[in-house]
Amino acid sequence: MTPTTMPEDIRLSAIIPLYNAGEMFRNFMDSLVAQTLSSLEIIIVNDGSTDNSEQVAREYAEKHQHITVISQPNGGVSRARNAGLNIAKGRYVTFPDADDILNPQMYQTLIDLCEQDDLDVAQCNGERYFVGSEKVKPIIPVDRLTSTAVMDGPIWLKTALATNRYLHVVWLGVYRLALIKKHQLYFEPGLHHQDIPWTTEVMFNAQRVRYTQKILYRYYIHGQSISNQKRTGMKNVEYQRHYLKIAKMLDELNQRYKSKIKIYSEFPRQVTREALTVCHSVRREPDPAAQKAMIDDIYSSGTRQIMMRNARGPKQWWQLLLWLKRLHTLRNKLA
């Protein structure tokens, strides 16, 4: 493969936020430069790494002309992705994580789908790899969802959420850059799990989406990643505030787009589902002071009202009412 860096020829820009990626980074880069897709632009945004990640990235850039490395002070994944979007030249963009592994056919497969069907978004399946046990599980089992024809974004999102296995992650898809620019779909700075509101709004605007059940991405589950770290005390309180904000953002998206698209029941149900994760965290938290802080956040942020406004179906309503009763009881106990 001899990728070109001519803007008019670039089919895909891969934007990689880089912060202390560690030992997995070389394996990731090897899988990225092994992609069979021609005309691939790779943009690595070094987000203030303090290990040798930037050095490794520049080593690869010296060997491969289609790799660009830019550096900025540490500002988080969202700012790094936004910085990459500002200089991306591809017709489509994607956002792999620097500690995962890509199938060499991944981007060829997805871009071929995009060009064949004039897609706004193409998504594939992936697999979870548990580093400790070395077990592998598909993210979406084929008995829950198989490859689809072309559909619009809201219908695809409804279909995916209905599997109860869908992950709101950016790294399983490629996205038309013109769509992102047109609707100013940038990532929320400072927000953990910013993929959730971002992918939701992208799908609210996408006209043509297609999914393939092919497993083309390996997501590594290990203790170093932000989403898999164990937190207690005030660190947990701070972390759960991100989920409260996500629930609010999703609720606001549904309100903002209700005159433009059909708001399927899966969309408000997702709002309540995200907020309920904070309730589960309250139960698991061993520090009473942290429990009290999380409950106070749920009350003061209006999350109870948001959950009640968005709950759908008898099962979720039962879960919600049970949790509201538990929170009320525990709040009085901790007062």
The secondary structure of 146-203 as a DSSP string is: -----B-HHHHHHHHHTTT-----STTEEEEHHHHHHHT----TT-TTTHHHHHHHHH
Residues 168 and 303 in one domain: no
Domain end call among 205, 227, 249 = 227
Calculate the dihedral angle through the C-alpha atoms of 104, 105, 111, 115, rounding to the nearest 10 degrees.
150
Is residue 244 within 8 A of residue 194, CB to CB? The reply is no
pLDDT of residue 68: 98
Packing angle between helix 288-300 and helix 314-334, nearest 10 degrees? 120
Report the distance separating Cα 77 and Cα 142, nearest Å.
31
pLDDT digits (tens, 9 = 90+) for 198-219: 999 999 999 999 999 999 999 9
Residues 253 and 112 in one domain: no
Of 110, 130, 118, 133, the C-alpha closest to 216 is: 110
What are 315's two structure tokens? Answer: 């099962």
Residues 129 and 164 in one domain: yes
- On whether residue 127 sits in a domain, the answer given is yes
Task: Give the predicted TM-score (pTM) of the model.
Answer: 0.94
Residues 17 and 139 in one domain: yes
Residues 219 and 85 in one domain: yes
Beta strands 135-138 and 121-130, pairing class: antiparallel
Total count of domains within the chain:
2
The segments of the chain whose pLDDT lies below 70 read 1-8, 223-229
pLDDT of residue 133: 84
- On whether residue 2 sits in a domain, the answer given is no
What are 36's two structure tokens? Answer: 């069979």
pLDDT of residue 48: 96
Q: Domain span at residue 86?
A: 7-227
Domain end call among 212, 227, 242 = 227
Of 69, 76, 90, the C-alpha closest to 4 is: 90
pLDDT of residue 7: 47
DSSP letter (8 states) at residue 207: S
Residues 131 and 97 in one domain: yes
